[in-house]
Amino acid sequence: MLSFLELKIPPLLLFFVFAVLMTQVPIAITNLSIAFAYNNLLALIIAIFGVIVVATGVINFKKADTTVDPRTPEQVNELVVSGVYQYSRNPMYLGFALMLLALAIYLQTIASYIWVIIFCRYLYHFQIMPEERALEKLFGQSYTDYCQKVRRWI
């Protein structure tokens, strides 16, 4: 149905689009808020952790000398299963989601949390699933074994 969206929008661009949407697009429930003590500190900690997770994922890919471009998973030349990839099959996407979650905590609106959920669902359907199909074709049983050991997100 919407398969034309598969692997088209780079997740980094998608991250920035959703960050803008979270801060700029009014939604009917925007005035509903979730406020709690130390939300700014919590947001900062989660954002820093998200940046570290993304950076570590990129570094692991660079060390393996494989492509970081998520639009061309068929160009991956090595299955990276060490480093942060032993804990998550998609640490870069997890890091982006954590950074958006941090922004939602900072903004304190229910609408912001909804945007985070939409971001994750979009990534799942139009980025992660097509990548997994491509990686299974490329690496076969090695990738299947990896998927059985390591969760998709966390």
| Domain boundary assignment for the chain | 11-20+37-149
Q: What is the pLDDT of residue 30?
A: 56
Q: What are the mean pLDDT values of the chain's consecutive 10-residue runs (154 residues total)?
A: 76 94 70 78 98 98 92 90 97 98 92 94 95 95 98 93
The DSSP-derived string for 29-66 is TTT-B---TTHHHHHHHHHHHHHHHHHHHHHHHHHTT-
Hunting for tokens 């985070």 — which residue is that?
116
d(CA 119, CA 113): 10
Q: What is the pLDDT of residue 1?
A: 57
